[in-house]
Each structure stands twice: as structure tokens, then as C-alpha cells.
Amino acid sequence: MDAAEFRKRGKEMVDYVADYLEKIDKRQVFPDVEPGYLRPLIPDCAPQDPESFEDVFKDIEKIIMPGVTHWHSPYFFAYFPAASSFPALLADMLCGGIGCVGFSWAASPACTELETVMLDWLGKMINLPEEFLAGKDGQGGGVIQGSASEATLISLLAARTKTIRRVQSENPELTEAEIMGRLVAYASDQFCATLGTTPCCSFDRLLELGPICNKENIWMHIDAAYAGSAFICPEFRHLLNGVEFADSFNFNPHKWLLVNFDCSAMWVKKRSDLIGAFKLEPLYLQHHHQERFRSLKLWFVLRMYGVTGLQEHIRKHVRLSHQFEHLVLQDERFEICAEVVLGLVCFRLKGSNELNKALLKSINEAKKIHLVPCYLREKFVLRFAVCSRTVESTHVKFAWQHISQLATDLLQTWEHDDHQQ
């Protein structure tokens, strides 16, 4: 394929993607296929000779789409949102075209520099303490990671290196191995200090944890993967109070800030802690630290939405989760299982775990909407996460009426079965 054909096919693909997203509400949100559906549909091995774009293109609807869970459908309320927007898609096209690898300044200066400045923009949007920003000559700064767990791993390694050096300087008689044997990482069952946990979007108390960590020389990392995007709204910023005690902080614009995967934003107060932990071969750089030009996505999204546009997006999702919460509360058969702070509602039928498992099963088997569950203090709970960029009040109302009707049907059978036994 040469540039001329790419121009033609690229434009066809733009239309395909626009069509897909424009009419995604017409597709069944969860697919009908069974495990193993795909292998029989395609050849056993790669073709020897080139196939045409048309051949490949027609297989998208024939082979791929029947097996896609439509994350951007307004009827998708599972997991947490996967961010997506048109400006981010455009930036990704540019990123692919440039195709640079940004593992050092020289490998692509624009890539390295835009990332630093964009993380300063983003840090200011959530009112991060100045210490976390790079500015012209600050000691802090942000970098883009692939995921929140990548950020956690990097924090852990940086903390380990820093602690070993400190202990070694205080106790020169100890070997590195001896110090390693004494290191302790404190974590809850959500791992590190977390703002907006996955099951129910609960918040650790930074103002209690922070001073202890600082006093005891413990590296504090805060994971706000989902919730962090909400801090761009002043009314939610208080949830981040205490971040001033942290050494590192992370949230995922690729979850809730309309920046397509992957873009996990991580800040540290001292960039030297990261650089010290990852000593790089100074002469040539191994290709192991490859990264694409991911900051382009942030640049496009932050500029084309503006802060107000992004705040509207967050506020719409929070408003819709409260709308759903109110609908649940009006139905005495149901209960809300955790405080609704942002875009997630945890709810269940008053009754056994088995009853709620049966309800979820009937919801996901009907495939009109899609939800996933969690356990909260051993109770099986349904999670209603406001996810899609295009979800509106009508979709939330539809979802609730549908759930409510399935509950009615289920309770009839359930009681009937109960009586029979």
C-alpha cells in the first residue's frame, strides 16, 4: 500500500469509525458469540501473498464486530469508562504517522517536551501543589505511563532505591541485601493510598495517612486512576486534599478525561527519585523504554474541549449517576450499597447474594445493557458505572426501567420457586 492508496483507504476508515460511533446505540452492547467463535472463521495461517484492503475491510463487520463488546455504547455501564473522543482519535492518527520513539530527549525532543508541559497543564487543572510541577526549573514533574499499575510499580521501585540509599548512608555497615531484607511496603487490599477504589469508588483518608508517612519516611503513592479526572471540577477537588503529603500521584485521563487509551498521568515531587531508580545506559539507549507520542492526545483534547468542556463531561456523568441513585432509592425492593460520590452507583435487591446474582445474570443475558458486579463486605452488589461519552438521561431511565422489570420478573419466579421448595 502506497501513500496514494492510504489517502483513499484512510478516508474510508475515518467514515467507518464515524459511522460506528454515530450509530453505536443501534448495536447490541454485548455480543452473542461463544468462546472460540473466531478461530473457525479465519484461515489457519497468514497468507503467502498480499490480500487487498477490500478483503480485510469486509471482514471487520463479518468477523470482528460480532465479537465486540461495545464500550462506547450509551448502554454500557460496566467496569469504569474507557475514555474516547474525536480529538483524541485525530491525535492518535498523527502520533501513528510521526511514529517516533520517545525514550530520550534526542530520540524525539518534541515528544519529551510536550509531555512535560502537558502534565503541567493537567496538574494545574486539578490544582496539584506546585511541587509536583516541572515548570521551568522545578524539581517535580509528570510523565505519562501506560496504566495505573505501571505507575504503582515505578513508584515502588523509586521508593525502594531511595530508601536503600537513605538507610545505607545512615548505616554504612549494612549491605544492600541486608537492607532489602528489612524493607516493608504498607498496603490495604486496594494496595496503596487510593482515591476512588474500583469496587465502590471509596476514598482513603489522605489527611490521616499522609502525616504518618512523612514522619516515618515512608514513600506515599496515591492512585486515583478513575476519580482523578473529577478533580478538575472545584466541587470535587476537596477529595484530593492531603496530596501535599504524597511523593507520587497518579490518575488516568484514559479513563474519564476523554483521552483514548493509553494515557496514565503520574507526578512526582522529585524527578531525581525516578531517574535515580532507573539508571539508563548513557551511551545508546536500549529500546526497552519505548514510548509513543502520547502527549499529543492530551494536547488535542485539552485544547479542543477546553477546561469547561471537560468539566461539563464530568458533571454530566456525576449528574446521571445521581439520577440512577434516585431511581433506585424510590424502589423499596432495592438498596444503595455505597455513597455515590462520582459516576458509580453500587446497588442490589434487598435479599440474598443468589437473588442478586440471578438479577445480574438476567440483565446481562438480555444484553440490552451491560453491568459487572463486585463484592462489598461479602455482599454481592451490582455496579452501575456511567461510562459512555454520549450517554444521556434517557439511557439511564431506560436502564433503570429495564432492570426494574427484570427484577419484577425474577422476584415472581423466585418466590414461586421458593414456595415450591
Helices 86-98 and 295-329: crossing angle in degrees, nearest 10, is 150
Determine the residue type at 121.
Answer: W
Cα(225)–Cα(74) distance, rounded to whole angstroms?
22
By beta-carbon proximity to its own copies, the closer residue of 135 and 211 is 135
Tell me the closest approach of the beta carbon of residue 390 to its own copies, in angstroms. 10
Closest separation in Å from C-beta 163 to its own copies: 19
d(CA 217, CA 394) in angstroms, rounded, equals 51
Query: Strand, helix or coil at 27?
Result: coil
What CA–CA distances, in Å, run from 153 to 223, 244, 279, 370?
Answer: 11, 21, 16, 31
Near its own copies in 3-22, by CB under 8 A: 3-7, 9-11, 13-22
Report the site for its own copies in 97-156 (rule: CB under 8 A).
Answer: 97-101, 105-111, 113-114, 116-117, 120-122, 124-125, 136, 146-149
Q: Does 47 bind its own copies (CB under 8 A)?
A: yes
Q: Of 52 and 330, which CB lies nearer to its own copies in the complex structure?
A: 52
Residue 55 lies near its own copies (rule: CB under 8 A): yes
**Nearest approach, Cβ of residue 397 and its own copies (Å):** 23
Closest CB 250 distance from its own copies, rounded Å = 12
Based on CB atoms, which residue is closest to its own copies, 2 or 170?
2
- Cβ atoms of residues 382 and 200 within 8 Å: no
Contact set for its own copies, span 65-104 (CB under 8 A): 65-72, 79-80, 82, 84-90, 92-94, 96-101
What is the footprint of its own copies within residues 210-239 (CB under 8 A)?
A: 225-226
Q: Which is nearer to its own copies, 219 or 305 (CB)?
A: 305
Largest interatomic CA distance in the chain: 78
Tell me the sheet residues that pair with 385: 344
Q: Quick one: 129 or 146, whose CB is closer to its own copies?
A: 146
Closest distance to its own copies from the beta carbon of 326 (Å):
24
Binding segment toward its own copies, per CB under 8 A, in 157-165, 280-288, 329-337, 404-412: 280-288
Residues 6+ apart with CB under 8 A from 371: 77, 78, 360, 363, 364, 382, 383, 384
Cβ at position 286, least distance to its own copies in Å: 5
The cell numbers describing 149, all together, are 499499575
Which residues 6+ apart lie within 8 Å of 99 measured at CB?
Answer: 292
Question: Residue for cell digits 555497615?
Answer: 173
Q: Please say which residue, 26 or 288, places its beta carbon nearer to its own copies.
A: 288
**Residue 2: is the preceding peptide bond cis (ω within 30°)?**
no
Q: Which is nearer to its own copies, 210 or 385 (CB)?
A: 385
Neighbours of 93 (CB within 10 A): 14
Of 221, 292, 317, 395, which lies in the binding site for its own copies, with binding defined by CB under 8 A? 292
Q: How far is CA 263 from the centre of its chain?
A: 9
What span, in angstroms and rounded, lies between the C-alpha atoms of 267 and 256? 18
Q: How far is the CB of 412 from its own copies (least distance, A)?
A: 27
Burial of residue 374, with CB atoms counted within 10 A of its CB: 0-12 exposed, 13-18 middle, 19 or more buried? middle
Number of residues that bind its own copies (CB under 8 A): 127
Question: Using CB under 8 A, which residues numbered 327 to 386 contact its own copies?
Answer: 372-375, 383
Of 406, 413, 414, the C-alpha closest to 366 is 406
Q: How far is the CB of 332 from its own copies (least distance, A)?
A: 27
- Integer angstrom CA distances of residue 285 from 73, 99, 142: 42, 17, 21
Angle at 210 between CA 209 and CA 215, to 5 degrees: 105
Interaction of residue 179 with its own copies, rule CB under 8 A: no
Site for its own copies in 21-40 (CB under 8 A): 21-22, 30-31, 33, 35-39
Closer to its own copies by CB, 164 or 210: give it: 164
Q: How many residues does the chain have?
A: 421
Cβ proximity to its own copies: between 3 and 173 the closer is 3
**Is there binding between residue 184 and its own copies (CB under 8 A)?**
no
Q: Which stretch binds its own copies (CB under 8 A): 236-244, 259-267, 340-348, 400-408?
A: 259-267
Nearer to its own copies, 186 or 375 (CB): 375
By C-beta, is 366 or 372 nearer to its own copies? 372
